[in-house]
Structure 1
Amino acid sequence: MQEFAPAFGTPTLLLIAAGAVALLLFLIIRVKLHAFIALVLVSTLTALAAGIPVGAVPEVLKSGFSTTLGSVALLVGFGVMLGRLLELTGGAQVLADTLIGRFGEHRAPTALGVASLLFGFPIFFDAGLVVFLPIIMTVARRFGGSLLLYGFPAAGAFAAMHALVPPHPGPVAAAGDLDANVGLTLLVGVPVAVVSWYVGVLLVSRVIGRRVHIDVPTALFGEINGGEEIGAAGTGSAAVATRTAPAFGTVLAVLLLPFVLISFNTVLATLASADVIPADATWVSYLRLLGETSIALLITVIVAAVVLGVRRGHTMGDVSTIFDRALGPICSVILITGAGGMFGGVLRASGIGDALSGSLSNLGISLIVQAFLIAAVLRVAQGSATVAITTTAGLIGGAAAAAGLGSIQLSLLVMAIAAGATVLSHVNDSGFWLVSRFFGMDVKTTLKTWTVMETTLGLSAFAVSLLLWTVF
């Protein structure tokens, strides 16, 4: 996306950004305007107010929308197809029953969170959340109470791993800009992620879940009560989902498949960047192609259609009907998420984030605190955590080199940047809209719950990093 020189000073740009967010919240919460319409309208007005040339406004809007849509549409589409198939064939119930049988009812949220931490090592936040949704909702439906008690520990685990732990792109890029060792950053990032998840997500989600009740939504995956038929749409099959439930090992293998495939891409990319393997080797290119999130989910959906559907006595027509019915409800999710990316893209193109971060880079405070604050401001200003991480690392890279920091301190600096880029997820963040739509929450409730939890996660990660900084 093309970026433009700031047309105004930092105070004016800050007022424009604050006014845009306030107007968006007013339109959605008070006026009850549809979020998609409100996001496109406010994005257009913000672009004009920030001084982006009128002729360039359409391209800026389309660029932010299409970039987000390109990464989200395929992912969400394949994800809900897989989730609906798992739901209707009884696979999600089998996995949930086994998980609860091993850990117990009272530790169900912890079990979901720990499983998400493990699965979140190679996979991005949004992909992991989509794949795990049917399991989360099945567990929540079984035990009752607020969906947030079960959903937030899992979603927060994916968010923590995505932000803090290599081989995810943000910490890897920041480590490169700061000349920090990626392997050591991984060793530092895992315990920081786990501790910050426990304090900032698991404990906080218990409080939020008791105060805010969210029913399990049925729009995406429906509600299975033991009587819905696979062929209910008229394909002729009378096989009841709960009577043909697959084995636990089969379900687990299907769920593990995308994580294994995606790890090909993320791990091989890290190894190639460190010159451990040749980046241009043919076998590396093919394995990385299999590990592209959309390709990995495509392969998984095809395998699931055969293993959970055709091989268990259902026709491919039955399975296609399931997929067709799963895709209908996600139009709103995809469009709103794309429009959220559009809003964030306008803020990036206007130079608001750069102007704010530049004004913070000369505050004369501790480097690790400065890194956290700059990343947090960039996160609030333009929405993307990855952009906030990489931009902040570039801004403070020179100061970090001049300070002569040790290898552990450099890795902790990466953690502080990632922590700042995690806080205050709000309406310019596409992940905010994914959580809002998937969990069936309105904007106000999402701000009171998800935004709070993302902030406590980021603050916890920064506190752990700062504590270790004083030791090392």
Structure 2
Amino acid sequence: MEAIEPQFGTLTLLLMAAGAVAVLLFLIMKVKLHAFIALVLVSVLTAIVVGFAPADIPGVLMFGFADTIGSVALLVAFGVMLGRLLEVTGGAQTLADTLIGRFGEKRAPLALGVASLLFGFPIFFDAGLVIFVPIILTVARRFGGSVLFYALPAAGAFAAMHAIVPPHPGPVAAANLIGANVGLTLLVGIPIAVVAWYVGVMLVSRFLGARVTVSVPDVIFGEVEDGQDSDGQSGSDGADALARRTPSFGTVLTLLLIPLVLISFNTVLTTLVDSGVLAEGQAWVGFLSLVGVTPVALMITVIAAILVLGRRNASMATVSKILDQALGPVCAIILITGAGGMFGGVLELSGIGDALSGSLSDLGISLILQAFIIATLLRVAQGSATVALTTTGGLIAATVADAGLSDFKLTLLVVAIAAGATVLSHVNDSGFWLVSRLFGMDEKTTLKTWTVMETTLGLSAFVIASGLWLVT
């Protein structure tokens, strides 16, 4: 679906977007209206105010909702199934114990972050996060304290890799649009992403975790205390049968590597085809790309987990019951995340991006700062980091071509765009709602923690890129 021709000036559109966000926060935080209802209501009202024809509004609403929920629903569903199997069989505990044994108890957050950086190279943010949730929560439940100590380093690592490092779609698209070398962007992006993660996420998470206490949510584990379920019965869902033989570290690691390897097929092959290294239409490329599509890769992983973890000690009926019970708590996560995508989609189609592009095309400032500012404003206005990356890349492409920059500076421009597309994640970003619900945070707490951390991550990456820009 295409955006409408803006009927208002850029300032008016931005004020409308700001007003919509303010109304949404008021309904959720003050009125205490359920987030799903509030998001749909404000999406409808915003679509009316910005000038969509009444007959077009249902399609406008479905644009963002269907696109978001179509991917998130499968990812969260398969992710929580895998997480529940890892939790009830002791696999998550095994992995947590091994990581802590290697890094030490005090470095547990660092261990989770480093593991997430490695897994985040080929895996998208949302997929990686749902895979790691049971491990994060297992470590947090073991050591106590705010879950932010453990959640933010891991989530921030996935966010950094997804925004800055190819073969993720945002940086690849931005690099292609401005003529940057994707391979060089990969080589430069990795160290910048790692340093920015340590400064903007790892150090900041210690500060936030010490000041904001968030208890371990029951989205994966259910209401479990001292080995008993919420009804006071031990192993009422058959979990006791599955926990008789704890899997080895090698078994758990192999299961987690399955989606890593499969998704790598898709991301790497897609990049090679787009760059012309591989010809399109080859059967083997198509097959490996199919099994590497994230939902398919996670489905294969869940089936492997059922065979390796579940069927060792329990019947298929028991395993199915456990998986079925795991899905209930995540329905709200899926719907709210989809509604967040709906709100972001309405803002995207309202023409805010086009209006900003026209108004900011000639700022008369340094090109790298211009790229960062444009990406930041687009990110804040419509929520999607990928849209902000691609739109900014297209907007400045002509100016970049005239500037005659070196390959290294072109790569730094991609990092600056990615940095701007990372900051200030808020209620029009579906990722905001995914993090909020997976870690049991209300909207105010998520703004105080996740939004702050995304901003420090983006600013850290921009500072590094700017420093390198000045000395080259």
Give the TM-score band, short-chain normalised: over 0.9
Aligned to 1:97: 97
State, as a whole percentage, how many aligned pairs show the same letter: 70
Q: Describe the superposition over 1:109-142 as per-residue Cα deviations: whole angstroms up to 9, x where unpaired.
A: 0010000000000000000000000000000011
Aligned to 2:203: 203
Alignment of 1:29-178 (within 5 A): 29-178=29-178
Measure the CA separation in 2 of the matches of 1:275 and 1:390.
20
Q: Say whether 1:416 aligns with 2:416.
A: yes
Q: Say whether 1:432 aligns with 2:440.
A: no
Measure the CA separation in 2 of the matches of 1:234 and 1:391.
48
Aligned to 1:293: 294
Q: Describe the superposition over 1:129-164 as per-residue Cα deviations: whole angstroms up to 9, x where unpaired.
A: 000000000000111110000000000000000000
Matched position secondary structure for 1:340: helix
Report if aligned partners of 1:231, 1:318 keep a CA contact under 8 Å in 2.
no
TM, length-normalised to structure 1: 0.97
Aligned to 1:249: 250
Measure the CA separation in 1 of the matches of 2:444 and 2:226.
35
Aligned length: 469
User: Counterpart amino acid of 2:156?
Assistant: G
Measure the CA separation in 2 of the matches of 1:133 and 1:275.
37
Q: Say whether 1:275 aligns with 2:295.
A: no
Measure the CA separation in 1 of the matches of 2:51 and 2:277.
46
Alignment of 1:267-346 (within 5 A): 267-310=268-311, 312-346=312-346
Aligned to 1:222: 222
Give structure 2 stretches of 5+ with no counterpart. Answer: none
Measure the CA separation in 1 of the matches of 2:338 and 2:323.
22
Q: Describe the superposition over 1:41-71 as per-residue Cα deviations: whole angstroms up to 9, x where unpaired.
A: 1001111111112211111001211111101
Report if aligned partners of 1:64, 1:346 keep a CA contact under 8 Å in 2.
yes
Report if aligned partners of 2:134, 2:220 keep a CA contact under 8 Å in 1.
no
Q: Describe the superposition over 1:264-288 as per-residue Cα deviations: whole angstroms up to 9, x where unpaired.
A: 0001111111222222110000000
Report if aligned partners of 2:164, 2:418 keep a CA contact under 8 Å in 1.
yes
Measure the CA separation in 2 of the matches of 1:222 and 1:87.
11
User: Counterpart amino acid of 2:432?
Assistant: F
Measure the CA separation in 2 of the matches of 1:316 and 1:144.
34
Matched position secondary structure for 1:239: helix
Aligned partner of 1:239 among 235, 238, 241: 241
Per-residue deviation, 1:359: 1.1
Matched position secondary structure for 1:82: helix
Report if aligned partners of 2:242, 2:309 keep a CA contact under 8 Å in 1.
no
Q: Say whether 1:8 aligns with 2:8.
A: yes
Measure the CA separation in 1 of the matches of 2:240 and 2:163.
45
Q: Describe the superposition over 1:67-120 as per-residue Cα deviations: whole angstroms up to 9, x where unpaired.
A: 111010001000000000100000000000011001000000001000000000
Aligned to 2:262: 261
User: Counterpart amino acid of 2:288?
Assistant: L
Per-residue deviation, 1:220: 2.9
Report if aligned partners of 1:357, 1:377 keep a CA contact under 8 Å in 2.
no
User: Counterpart amino acid of 2:273?
Assistant: A
Per-residue deviation, 1:315: 1.1
Measure the CA separation in 2 of the matches of 1:177 and 1:401.
10
User: Counterpart amino acid of 1:442?
Assistant: D
Measure the CA separation in 2 of the matches of 1:221 and 1:290.
29
Measure the CA separation in 2 of the matches of 1:276 and 1:128.
27
Q: Describe the superposition over 1:384-404 as per-residue Cα deviations: whole angstroms up to 9, x where unpaired.
A: 000000000000000000000
RMSD over aligned Cα atoms? 1.4
Structure 1 residue ranges (4+ consecutive) displaced by more than 4 angstroms after TM superposition: 223-226, 228-231
Matched position secondary structure for 1:95: helix
Measure the CA separation in 1 of the matches of 2:276 and 2:370.
32
Report if aligned partners of 2:61, 2:346 keep a CA contact under 8 Å in 1.
yes
TM, length-normalised to structure 2: 0.97
User: Counterpart amino acid of 1:281?
Assistant: Q
Measure the CA separation in 2 of the matches of 1:220 and 1:276.
42
Matched position secondary structure for 2:6: coil
Measure the CA separation in 1 of the matches of 2:30 and 2:354.
31
Report if aligned partners of 2:80, 2:220 keep a CA contact under 8 Å in 1.
yes
Distance 1:226 1:248, change over 3 A: farther
Measure the CA separation in 1 of the matches of 2:211 and 2:101.
27
Report if aligned partners of 1:140, 1:146 keep a CA contact under 8 Å in 2.
yes
Measure the CA separation in 2 of the matches of 1:198 and 1:331.
33
Once the two structures are overlaid, the 10-residue window that deviates more, 422-431 or 226-235, is 226-235
Report if aligned partners of 2:86, 2:134 keep a CA contact under 8 Å in 1.
yes
Once the two structures are overlaid, the 10-residue window that deviates more, 46-55 or 191-200, is 46-55
Q: Say whether 1:193 aligns with 2:193.
A: yes
Measure the CA separation in 2 of the matches of 1:22 and 1:411.
36
Matched position secondary structure for 2:215: coil
Per-residue deviation, 1:252: 0.5
